[in-house]
Amino acid sequence: MLRLPAFEFQPARSVDEAVTLLGEHGDDALPVAGGTDLYANMKLGLFAPRVVVGLRSITALRSIRFDPQHGLRIGALCSLDAIVREPAVAEHYPALAQAAAMVGTPEIRNMGTIGGNLCLETRCNYFNQSAEWRKAMGYCLKRDGNLCRVALHSDTCKAINASDTAPVMHAYDARLSLVGPRGERTVNIREFYQNDGAHANVKRADEILTEIALPLPARGTRSSYRKLRLRKAFDFPLLGVAVAVATDAGGSCTQARIVLNAVGSAPLEVEAAGAILLGTHLGEEIAADAAEEVFKAGKPLENANASLLYRKRMLRVIAQRALEDVIAPLR
């Protein structure tokens, strides 16, 4: 069977210790939380850190706190399962509970953390393969090669952001706290991801993601996450659509965010779709117009387990359904 390459495991008991360890070992080190992503990738020879800095013992990062004034603060080491079970999440951020519940399998949700899911390595049919397979196929831009096998003329890697929770966090306007040797900085999630599969986020090698803060949604906010996949568990999204809309007392839309995942290396907010909804009384027809914008904006490539054409076509369908989820309660 496949074996993990040898590495030194250094557990950190505090954020400071983790940052120090990562700083000490530089590019030779990688942080690990639940390990459901990193260890599988290490077995495939995709990463070979000399030192793995364990974050699981940093108990301070395992809390979820809800404050009716300021919203939700989630420690990055909260398991996905803990998020699914948190009443404040279900009540105020239901799409997050939906998305977290759709990740992997119960085992993966028990081990996997929210921080890990947000920092999930981008995925691609040409990348998530063994060393032998990649050698036989020819290496790619993301690892060991200089050619993107999905888009041969592309200068950047086209691997997919397949995090179920990322588009939802984006729709909720999350702010992420990153702690490094120079202290803590906070970035909005829209600045966190970048559309380059080989450098998918701005977290530096010596930083760790410590906390996710979600502002209190505006009164009357409804949200939903829809995931297209080939089976009901143990499957990354072929396409994900997160929707959050707010309406005023008169039923007029005051805020609308529609965010896609699995169609690029970063979550993609389709602002044109949100703009269509603003100021309207949300209804099926306007939802169809917004879904049309989603269809135009999403540009899947041939690098997942369904064809490009199918995923393109599903943009409209899945967006329409996500929008109907938030419109239906109005009627």
Partner 1 sequence: MGKNGAAPSQAHVVGASLPRIDGYAKVTGAAIFADDIALPRMLFGKLLRSPHAHARILSIDYERALRHPGVVAVAVGGDLPARYGILPSAQDETVFAIDKVRYVGEPVAGIVAEDELAAQQAAALIEVRYETLPSVMSIDEALLEVDGSGEKIHPESRKANNVHKEVHLTFGDLDAGFAAAERIFDDEYFFEGNTHAALEEHSAIASFGADGKLTLWSSTQTPHYLHRVAASVLDLPASRIRIIAPPVGGGFGGKTEPVAHELAAAHFSRKTGRPVKFTLSREEVFYTHRGRHPVRIHLQTGIRSDGSIAACRLQTWLDGGGYGSYGVATTYYTGALLPVTYKMGAYAFDGCRVYTNKPPCGPKRGHGTTQPRYAFESQLDEIANALGLDAGAYRAAIAIDPYSRTINHLRVTSCGMREALSAVAERTDYSEKHGKLAPGRGIGLAASAYLCGAGLPIYWNPMPHSGAIVKVDRGGGVTVFCGTSDCGQGSQNMLAVIVAETLGIDILDVSVCAGDTDLTPVDLGSYSSRVTFMAGNAARSAALDVRERIAAAAGAELGIAPERCAFENGRVFDRKNPDRALSFVDAARATEARFGTLAGVGSYTPPADLHGDFKGSGVGPSPAYSYSACVAEVEVDFETGEVRVERIVLAHDCGRALNPRIVEGQIEGSAYMGMGEALMEESAFRNDLHRIPNLLDYKTPTILDTPRIDAIVIETKELEGPYGAKEAGEGPLNPVIPAIANAVADAIGRRIYATPITPERVLQALDGTAGPLRLRAPIAMKTT
Question: What is the size of the binding site for partner 1 (CB under 8 A)?
Answer: 34
Site for partner 1 in 117-136 (CB under 8 A): 125, 128-133, 135-136
Element housing 188 (H / E) = strand 183-188
The length of the chain in residues reads 331
Binding flag, residue 313, partner 1 (CB under 8 A): yes
Based on CB atoms, which residue is closest to partner 1, 63 or 305?
A: 305
What mask, x for binding partner 1 by CB under 8 A, covers residues 131 to 170? xxx-xxx---------------------------------
Alpha-helical runs (H) found in 138-226: 165-171, 189-192
Binding flag, residue 307, partner 1 (CB under 8 A): yes
At closest approach, how far in Å is the CB of 102 from partner 1?
11
At closest approach, how far in Å is the CB of 47 from partner 1?
15
Distance of CA 87 to the CA centre of its chain: 22
At closest approach, how far in Å is the CB of 290 from partner 1?
16
d(Cα 215, Cα 91) in Å, to the nearest integer?
A: 14
Phi, psi torsion values for 210, nearest 5 degrees: -110, -35
Q: Is 186 exposed, middle or buried (0-12, 13-18, 19+ CB in 10 A)?
A: exposed
At closest approach, how far in Å is the CB of 234 from partner 1?
6
13 DSSP 8-state letter: S
**Taking the CA atoms of the chain, what radius of gyration do you get in angstroms?**
20
Q: Which one of 28, 235, 271, 289 is in contact with partner 1 (CB under 8 A)? A: 235
What mask, x for binding partner 1 by CB under 8 A, covers residues 66 to 105? ---------------------------------------x
Torsion of CA 150, 156, 162, 163, to 10 degrees: 180
Based on CB atoms, which residue is closest to partner 1, 136 or 249?
A: 136
At closest approach, how far in Å is the CB of 235 from partner 1?
8
> Which listed range, 64-72, 140-148, 163-171, 305-313, lies at the site for partner 1 (CB under 8 A)?
305-313
Q: Which one of 218, 233, 275, 328 is in contact with partner 1 (CB under 8 A)? A: 233
Using left for φ > 0, alpha for ψ between -120 and 50, and beta otherwise, residue 6 falls in beta
Beta strands at 71-75 and 29-32: parallel, antiparallel or unpaired:
unpaired
Beta strands at 8-11 and 51-54: parallel, antiparallel or unpaired:
parallel
* Assigned token pair, 166: 């990322």
Name the residue among 149, 157, 141 with its Cα closest to residue 200.
Answer: 157
Binding flag, residue 1, partner 1 (CB under 8 A): yes
Binding flag, residue 328, partner 1 (CB under 8 A): no
Catalog residues that contact partner 1 under the rule CB under 8 A: 1-6, 105, 125, 128-133, 135-137, 228, 230-236, 305-307, 309-310, 313-314, 317-318
